[in-house]
A = this chain, B = another copy of it.
């Protein structure tokens, strides 16, 4: 909100580059229409930070900023921008700027941008590419969404497995174009099947006459182009891969995936898990309130139905409540405690399934463990709430009733928290879809029913 903040280059000590003072200063410059000042402030920012900046400002500010500064938008910035605003940004760019930006990019980044655009915008971008790149991009787009084929870059560095280190070095030094980033030379057999990876570090340190195959890495994995990208992220993380060749249906080399892309996918998968567990679909921080309201509505609606179901259970016991109003006071405790216990088990299960730690080999041990801990904590809380209720309402049997209901619901929570995500996984759904609303239906219904029916039987 200050008017004129001067940010000296050397002062930008902040690790993220994009501190709020700079954002403020850029906003002011945009408002003042001072294009030179905007450029001066934007210039030191890496592409990823410029993309973040564009996400953080409002839609109107974005338009003004792009107007003042669009000439300097490059391909890297385009590919860093969140998909939620990419379409808007692209629409605001002069055709020439867009064309130049797209031409700089590797094919995998172009594919990433294309995926989220509408047909007419896709055409503009495809039209901007050189023929060879266009063909490569269209081939990549022929793989399923979220597959390794879409994620890979097609530029690979491969060598026959019988080559020596000297031959490989000569080849690399004479190659006209090498990819921007590559970490391995992929060894291939005569039919272009990848058979090994040699790190550049080993090539640089080995003797010229060493056979490439003798210094290939121990850990070597190929990835099918049709493999899910979540699986790719898992493989990279599990086996500490840095890059892995991608093969087609006949095991021939068609591309390569590098760890930075896999790390990105891992991060997105986590975002999906955390948001789905909370009952939030897609969505981004730059969405408007209307979009946000729409995104959140569906699970809230499901929750309304399940809450009504729980109320239906309560209404079965109106007579009991009329006679002993204390049960109305205490009944949310049992349901709430069960809901929390179920959420705990759910989070553990979803995470264990995502990391493939929960398998057929240990599922029975884990089911048993969840039930045992559920009953144990159920007992502990039964005693506590039993004693509290006794003192609160002065009725010993009220303590017994709520204690028993607590044990029953904690048992139900343990079972539901584990079996619902397991069942979803088995049926081919994302277990994280077993969001709070789903699992807590069980604990609400069981909690209210157990407590109120016990109250009716024992207290009346």
Contact = CB atoms under 8 A, between A and B. Distances in A.
Contact of A340 (B179, B289, B310, B436): B436
A205 B175 contact: yes
Given A201-B183, A377-B297, A318 B307 contact: no
Nearest to A360: B20
Interface in A222-237: 227, 231, 235-237
Nearest to A179: B201
Nearest to A219: B46
A193 to B, nearest CB: 15
B183 A290 contact: no
A395 interface: no
A336 B201 CA distance: 58
A204 B172 contact: yes
A314 B332 contact: yes
A164 interface: no
A288 B369 contact: yes
Contacts of A205: 172-173, 175, 178
Given A46-B239, A239-B46, A277-B274, A304 B384 contact: yes
A300 interface: yes
Of listed A183, A344, A388, residue having the most chain B CB within 10 A:
A344
Given A278-B346, A444-B336, A293 B376 contact: yes
Interface residues of A, number: 129
Contact of A263 (B20, B259, B340, B380): B259
Contact of A56 (B306, B362, B388): B362
A347 B437 CA distance: 14
A422 B204 CA distance: 49
Nearest to A385: B304
A68 interface: no
Interface stretch (A30-38, A112-120, A138-146, A322-330): A322-330
Contact of A344 (B173, B299, B306, B348): B299
17 contacts: A16-B356, A56-B361, A57-B361, A172-B204, A172-B205, A173-B205, A175-B205, A181-B201, A277-B277, A280-B348, A289-B373, A304-B337, A308-B385, A311-B330, A321-B325, A325-B328, A328-B328
Given A263-B263, A314-B332, A318-B326, 15 more contacts: A23-B361, A52-B356, A57-B361, A172-B205, A181-B242, A274-B347, A274-B351, A278-B343, A280-B347, A289-B373, A290-B376, A307-B337, A328-B331, A332-B444, A340-B437
